[in-house]
Amino acid sequence: MVTLPKVLSQPLVEHRARIELIHKQDRASGLAGVYLPHAMAMKHLAAAESWEWFWLFPSPSLSVDPRSGIQRRHHVNDINISRELARAEKMAGLTKRVTAHVLRHSFATHLILRGVDIRNIQQLLGHVDVRTTEIYTQLAKAMRGEITSPLDDM
């Protein structure tokens, strides 16, 4: 889980409106809804076709569901996200590899640098043990450099 930057609120609202149109087009064309686990699909018959269950990041193309043989729209594949990150990395001229996991590490490290409580970061990252989260404090410490006395700032 990550906090949503305020700057992305409006673009996300606009994205949601675009995908709602895709959802409506899929429903109008009689396309099967999203895949749901069998028990869920049996319990909530119309859920797969409802807007609430539609993907936030749907695939732009349709595919055949390998489990059922039904043509439907799936979510964007993780591989496509990785490719887009690699493309953005190249366009930016970065020399270090950028992955979703690197972004997660960066997010946590920058929260520590901003003084966010380690327990809050632990909760955001979903770490069971705070010792896992404390790894980021070592990196942040190295990034901060030497700690000086507040009196030196006077």
Q: What does the pLDDT look like over 95-107, one tens digit per residue?
A: 989 999 999 988 9
The secondary element (H helix, E strand) that includes residue 45 is none
Residues in the chain: 154
Tens digits of per-residue pLDDT, 76-94? Answer: 988 999 999 999 999 999 9
DSSP string, 20-42: HHHHHHHHHTT-B-----HHHHH
Cα distance between residue 136 and residue 112, in whole Å: 7
Domain boundaries, the chain: 7-76, 80-144
Tens digits of per-residue pLDDT, 36-64? Answer: 888 888 899 899 999 999 999 999 999 99
